């Protein structure tokens, strides 16, 4: 089963098995990963699921939609080139593990 590794600001990590059809945000919320709120449930309305994708993996993911890019401009934490909304991310083949870094704040 594919995995997502969540890395916190203090360097602590949590690795979860995640089905390929489950978003990274949903996996985080269901498993109590701190720092990912997902307030809107994944309908691109809150930007509280912001993460930084591991820089070496950004090119392995589909590009963000216009809607995601627009909402990324409203994130509370620092926006970076590897910023993504985790409700829009899944661990797609051929990736077996996705590494995301949790920002300092979501709101
Ligand atoms: S959960 Fe609201 S935008 Fe991702």
Tens digits of per-residue pLDDT, 3-22? 999 999 999 999 999 999 99
Give me the pLDDT at residue 9, please: 96
Ligand 1 atom with the smallest distance to the CA of 37 is 1
Can the peptide bond before residue 94 be classed as cis, meaning omega within 30 degrees of 0? yes
| First vs last C-alpha separation in the chain | 32
Which backbone phi and psi does 18 adopt, to 5 degrees?
Answer: -135, 125
Q: Report residue 100's pLDDT band, with 50, 70 and 90 as the boundaries.
A: very high
Give yes or no for residue 72 CB within 6 A of ligand 1.
no
Does the pLDDT at position 39 exceed 90? yes
- Flag whether pLDDT at 98 surpasses 90: yes
User: Once rounded to an integer, what is the mean pLDDT over residues 27-56?
Assistant: 97
Q: Which residue has the tokens 């089963």?
A: 1
Q: Which domains does the chain have, with CATH numbers?
A: 3-101 (3.10.20.30)
- The three-state secondary structure class of 97 is strand
Distance 92 CA to ligand 1 centre (A): 19
Q: Ligand 1, closest atom to CA 41?
A: 1
CA 40 to chain centre: 14
Which residues 6+ apart lie within 8 Å of 41 measured at CB? 87
| SS3 at position 17 | strand
For the CA of 38, the closest atom of ligand 1 is 1
φ/ψ of residue 48, rounded to 5: -95, 20
Q: How far is the CA of 36 from the centre of ligand 1 (A)?
A: 9
Q: 60-83: per-residue pLDDT in tens?
A: 999 999 999 999 999 999 999 999
What's residue 78's pLDDT?
94
**% of the chain with per-residue pLDDT over 90:** 98
* 88 alpha carbon – ligand 1 mean position (Å): 8
Phi, psi of 83 (to 5 degrees): -70, 135
Statement: residue 107 has pLDDT above 90: no
């Amino acid at each position: 089963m594919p995995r997502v590794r969540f890395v916190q600001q203090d360097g602590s990590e949590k690795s979860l098995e995640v089905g390929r059809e489950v978003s990274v945000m949903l996996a985080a919320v269901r498993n109590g990963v701190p720092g990912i709120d997902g307030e809107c449930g994944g309908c691109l309305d809150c930007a509280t699921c912001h993460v930084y994708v591991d820089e070496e993996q950004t090119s392995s993911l589909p590009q963000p939609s216009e809607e995601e890019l627009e909402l990324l401009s409203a994130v509370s934490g620092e926006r970076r080139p590897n910023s993504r909304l985790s409700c829009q991310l899944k661990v797609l083949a051929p990736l077996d593990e996705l590494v995301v870094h949790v920002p300092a704040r979501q709101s």
